[in-house]
Chains A and B, each alone.
Chain A
């Protein structure tokens, strides 16, 4: 079959490999035989109607679901060849490598400075020069430095929503992750702040692998390199975003992205 007719395209040298992943909440099966590869240093968007398993899926990638007792996971997730579902994996180290940004920004009620270096403090870093450098580097990378450089030691709670979300991205970047998971990072932001976050995502691409859940189809189309469409716990289609949004393989994908579905 030509590549253009394959609903889930193979990725050469994927950084993340999902192998027949199944997830159960008690008796109910929330993820069904998910199998695909996510390329390094690209932006991959997960789209699909509410309840399709997008958020559940990305929470598997840094084992956030471990915190929920009723969840049982089968199958494999490899990051750089290592199975992260192995009980022997150091989850704290995994979450350093795989950072996360949530829908609702969640800065700590501390200063901007302390928010950025929170991960380093936990890790016991005390070197002031190193901490200062990390703060500047991370805030610059998150396109927030110019706005906050004169008030680093003031409370993060005084920032605007868009600024707080960028602060959370800076906090994620500060610990040198390889992958950043974003769960609807713009859904509570106005269009202007959304545009800044989207620009930032495009800039971070290349240095980080970004996996983003979004309900905004246009956003997925604008910022991602690859798009995965999920429905009722299944991966229906996965391919280059350009292709998914011009000529999807599956009718279900087409119906969803053109709004004929639901």
Chain B
């Protein structure tokens, strides 16, 4: 019976790692499609999301099955609960990649504008956070998870700055208002992805240390 559960948990781990790789790749494609003004890439992201949705359902069903059949406790219970939550975060990240791709499709039809924020820095940082949060899960590394939590503040600050820039640019040149609003959305979606990466990191801390760190300040020092 214990061996049976162990195998189920190994399977579950494989599934969630596969799903996270697909989600990461979709985010990378979506952000690149903005820079490259590449509509084909953006469409690939949108089509790929169906696959992520199906994976989310599979992972959830697997979690429910293990809970119902084995009534796991301690580390096994914490793992399944963490995966159940991380699964929803990953699925939402997949949706946000689609949202970015949709903005990309629109922006590609418009004259090229200067992004109202340091797009590359922000998208790199967000992808780094997402990757680190997933690595912290794979390696059960709470230190890396704490680092992800600490970085969320930087992304939030970039997001706030962006609003100010858009405001002044709209006043300066209202003809680009449509593009600017779409760009603003892209920044907002990236900021949301960082939030989900933070949630994943917090679930990893719970999984390893059995401590719920949500809603508490992070004092990570590199």
* Interface presence of A246 (CB below 8 A): yes
Contact A246 B2 (CB under 8 A): no
* Interface presence of A126 (CB below 8 A): no
Contact A246 B72 (CB under 8 A): no
| Contact A258 B72, CB 8 Å, known A246-B77, A246-B78 | yes
- CB nearest neighbor in B for A247: B210
Interchain CA distance A257-B74 in the complex, whole Å = 8
| Contact A221 B2, CB 8 Å, known A246-B78, A247-B210 | no
Contact B75 A254 (CB under 8 A): yes
Contact A259 B5 (CB under 8 A): yes
Contact B2 A217 (CB under 8 A): no
* Interface presence of A37 (CB below 8 A): no
Taking residues whose C-beta sits less than 8 angstroms from the other chain, chain A's interface range is 10 to 19
* Interface presence of A248 (CB below 8 A): yes
Main secondary structure, interface of B, reads helix
Task: Give 1 or 0 for each of A241-262: 1 = CB within 8 Å of chain B CB.
Answer: 0000111100000100111100
Contact A246 B71 (CB under 8 A): no
* Interface presence of A218 (CB below 8 A): yes
Contact B71 A218 (CB under 8 A): yes
| Contact A258 B71, CB 8 Å, known A246-B210, A247-B210 | no
Residue among B71, B72, B75, B77 facing the most chain A CB atoms (10 A cut-off) = B75
* Interface presence of B157 (CB below 8 A): no
Contact B74 A259 (CB under 8 A): no
* Interface presence of B1 (CB below 8 A): yes
Chain A nearest CB from B179 CB (Å) reads 51
Contact A245 B73 (CB under 8 A): yes
Q: Which residues of A contact B75 (CB under 8 A)?
A: 254, 258
* Interface presence of B76 (CB below 8 A): yes
- CB nearest neighbor in A for B6: A260
Contact A258 B210 (CB under 8 A): no
Contact A248 B74 (CB under 8 A): yes
| Contact A257 B73, CB 8 Å, known A246-B78, A246-B210 | yes
Q: Which residues of A contact B2 (CB under 8 A)?
A: 258-260
| Contact A258 B78, CB 8 Å, known A218-B71, A246-B210, A247-B210 | no
Interchain CA distance A221-B2 in the complex, whole Å = 17
Chain B nearest CB from A238 CB (Å) reads 16
Q: Which residues of A contact B1 (CB under 8 A)?
A: 259
Interchain CA distance A246-B211 in the complex, whole Å = 11
Chain A nearest CB from B175 CB (Å) reads 59
Contact B74 A247 (CB under 8 A): yes
Q: Which residues of B contact A247 (CB under 8 A)?
A: 74, 78, 210
Residue among A254, A258, A260 facing the most chain B CB atoms (10 A cut-off) = A258
Interchain CA distance A247-B1 in the complex, whole Å = 21
Residue among B6, B72, B73, B210 facing the most chain A CB atoms (10 A cut-off) = B73
Interchain CA distance A72-B19 in the complex, whole Å = 61
Interchain CA distance A228-B75 in the complex, whole Å = 18
Interchain CA distance A221-B74 in the complex, whole Å = 11
Interchain CA distance A258-B2 in the complex, whole Å = 7
* 17 CB < 8 A contacts A-B: A245-B73, A246-B73, A246-B77, A246-B78, A247-B74, A247-B210, A248-B74, A254-B74, A257-B73, A257-B74, A258-B5, A258-B72, A258-B73, A258-B75, A258-B76, A259-B1, A259-B5
- Which B residues contact A (CB, under 8 angstroms)? 1-2, 5-6, 71-78, 210
**Contacts beyond the supplied A245-B74, A246-B77, A257-B73: 8 A-B pairs with Cβ under 8 Å:** A217-B73, A218-B71, A221-B73, A247-B78, A247-B210, A258-B74, A259-B5, A260-B2
Lowest 7 A-B CB distances belong to which pairs? A259-B2, A247-B210, A245-B73, A254-B74, A257-B73, A258-B76, A258-B74
- Which A residues contact B (CB, under 8 angstroms)? 217-218, 221, 245-248, 254, 257-260
